[in-house]
Structure 1
Amino acid sequence: MNADLIAVDWGSTHLRAWQGEKTLNLPLGVSRLDGRSPRDIFDRHIAPWRESPATPVMMAGMIGSDAGWQAVPYLPCPLSLQTLSANLCEVAENVWIVPGLKVEGENVMRGEETQLLGAMQLSPAACYVMPGTHSKWVQVANGQVTGFATAMTGELHHLLMAHSLIGNGLPQQIDDDSAFREGLARGLRSPTVVSELFRNRAARVLGKLPATSVSDALSGLLIGAEISAMLATCPVKTVTLVASAALASRYQTAFTAAHVEARCVSGDRAFLQGIRSILDERR
């Protein structure tokens, strides 16, 4: 990322920023401000990077929601992501928020649209899968985003491990590829997933699943169910994954099991490419 630009990915739980070789990663997402305003956080942690107001700051994510700095309208699909630059919202001098996308009456996204723009330039595809707290499956045709769907895979995993009987009283979890793959196979077979969830507790109680492997077994189950359900409505043979290395590895394993070819683009690289493209388009 060039030093002439500050790129900010400001989500629900974390604030991340880049300028040149400088990076920032703080647990100061819009749901964790503890009474402080986004402007206060900006002035303390991001504004000091600017040599002058001439340095543009481009922000994407939940900072543009009604819980963030300012609610920025969603742009309706289908649309070309080249229109993002013409719909930026200026919240301070040369400080801009990227709008999100919506499928009217069905779905919304914030932050992923910027990653998506970068990914479309780095790895053109007809279907993009963006794993995370709320995984997005995005369809693209003729350079336009035609629609997208959301699976709450990451959030379900967190809720079940932290607040359900499945995760209650467990020791520290360790990586267990075998447990992940066994859960994955069950998820691919049973995309409705509801009838399979309690088996994670039963298997642990009955000594069939190590107590330290419940998280990976549950992760495999949920990812498998996500992929099986999404492929049923959007059958594809090739996808581009936009994800961190850890998530990309899990989803690539899952897609291989589902006989789908998955190419991968780093989520951070895609985000920074998208931010740069939006700024260049605006100029």
Structure 2
Amino acid sequence: MSRYIAIDWGSTNLRAWFYLDGECQETRRSEAGVTRLNGRSHQQVFDEIVHGWPVSELPVVMAGMVGSNVGWLPAPYLPCPLPLESIAAQLTHVGENRWIVPGLSINHADNHNVMRGEETQLLGAQALAPAAVTVMPGTHSKWVIAEGDCIVDFRTVMTGELHHLLLKQSLIGNGLPEQRDDTQAFHRGLEIGVNDASILSRLFEVRAQHLLGTLPRESVSDFLSGLLIGHEVASQQRQLALAAPVTLVTNMQLAQRYQHAFTLIDIPTQWLEGDRAFQQGIRRIVDELTD
């Protein structure tokens, strides 16, 4: 199918793409995420974002928090292990020609996890840059284990959110000036994070260093970022016994930070831009939907 509308509807933002003959004709963006409707209904926001597009003639596939319990209509979490190709057969119907992609879940004694939105990127990633391990860095980084096109397991690491909380709402970031880019500070934090498993004790040292003058106060953010990313990558490598190349699905800036961490533990990586993975994932779903 070469004619469809793809929508990535998250908590704080909304993006929509109109495809015709396999080519994107127009992209639209809005800050009307599912937690920012400002008194409007989901239907009203939907009508605004697709205004002027031939909605009644095309399939519309939506992914992300639009399918959560605060979204338009709850879409289920599909339990893993799960063949990715089965996702398209379990969409939630919202209205005429409109569907929401389900999330994925793990519910084991040693691992309770959910994802919503990343499953669509996984569909694209396994088609464009297949790997046994796919890492999707972000606020809540996802580490996904696959066997072919089957998702076997995944885990979530709250690196991005922890960085924000520590910098904005803890003693570590209290009273700091505006932060600046500092590649040297990032790499120093990265090496400590990769090589030292005692992350909790290291966190207070971030504050101690800038108080004692060994870390510029303007560089705390990058040092802390390196410390947390290094610890994330090294701890997951130990837990998952990584040996194969890893696919990183994210934006270029974040991919480069994680690539530096993987280089320190001698794990090769390949990078796939997150929007490209999402678009390919939606295309796979639409192809299955219209066969």
Residue matched to 2:33: 29
- The aligned amino acid for 2:61 is M
2:88 corresponds to which of 74, 85, 89: 85
Shift of 1:16: 1.8
Alpha carbons 1:135, 1:152 under 8 Å: kept:
yes
Q: Residue in 2 aligned with 1:15?
A: 14
Query: For the residues of structure 1 that align with 2:162 and 2:36, how far apart are their CA atoms?
Result: 20
Residue number among 40, 52, 70 corresponding to 1:67 in the alignment: 70
Q: Which residue of 2 aligns with 1:165?
A: 171
TM-score (norm 2): 0.92
Q: Residue in 1 aligned with 2:289? A: 282
Please say if residues 101 and 109 of structure 1, whose CA atoms lie closer than 8 Å, have aligned partners that are also in contact: yes
Amino acid at match of 2:247: T
**Unpaired segments ≥5 residues, structure 1:** none
Equivalent runs, 1:241-252 vs 2, <5 Å: 241-252=248-259
Q: Give, as a single letter, the amino acid of the residue that structure 1 aligns with 2:68.
A: S
2:171 aligns to what SS in structure 1? coil
Deviations 1:9-66 (A, max 9, x none): 1112221222224223333222233343322221222x30422412221111111100
* Alignment TM-score, normalising by the size of structure 1: 0.95
The equivalent of 1:5 in structure 2 is 4
Q: Which amino acid aligns with 1:92?
A: G
Q: Does 1:142 align with 2:148?
A: yes
- How does 1:213-252 map onto structure 2 within 5 Å? 213-237=219-243, 238-252=245-259
Matched residue count: 281
Aligned pairs for 1:173-192 (under 5 A) are: 173-192=179-198
Question: Is 1:156 aligned to 2:167, yes or no?
Answer: no
Pick closer, same or farther for the CA change 1:52–1:139 going to 2, 3 Å.
closer
Contact 1:133 1:152 (8 Å CA) reproduced: yes
Runs of 4+ in 1 over 3 A off after TM superposition: none
Q: Answer yes or no: is 1:193 the counterpart of 2:219.
A: no
Q: Deviations over 1:225-283 (max 9, x none)?
A: 11111111101122111111111111111110121101111111000000001000111
Query: Counterparts of 1:229 and 1:258 in 2: how far apart (Å)?
Result: 11
CA 1:71–1:184: 2 relative to 1, 3 Å? same
Match of 1:255 among 259, 262, 270: 262
- Partners of 1:49 and 1:202 in 2: how far apart? 57
Q: Which whole-Å CA distance do the structure 2 matches of 1:6 and 1:61 have between them?
A: 15
Q: Per the alignment, do residues 97 and 192 of structure 1 end up closer, same or farther by CA in structure 2, a change over 3 Å counting?
A: farther
After superposition, the CA RMSD in angstroms is 1.6
Matched with 1:100 is 103
For the pair 1:267 / 2:274, whether they are aligned, the reply is yes
Q: Could you say what secondary structure the match of 2:73 adopts?
A: coil
Distance in structure 2 (CA, Å) of the matches to 1:160 and 1:40: 37
Q: Report if the CA contact (8 A) 1:200-1:214 is conserved.
A: yes
SS of the counterpart of 1:172? coil
The answer for the alignment partner of 2:124 in structure 1 is 118
Contact 1:191–1:224 (CA under 8 A) maintained in structure 2: no
Deviation string 1:182-204 (CA, Å, 9 cap, x unpaired) is 11111112334111111111111
Q: Quote the offset at 1:82 in angstroms.
A: 0.4
- The answer as to whether partners of 1:191 and 1:226 remain within 8 angstroms in 2 is no
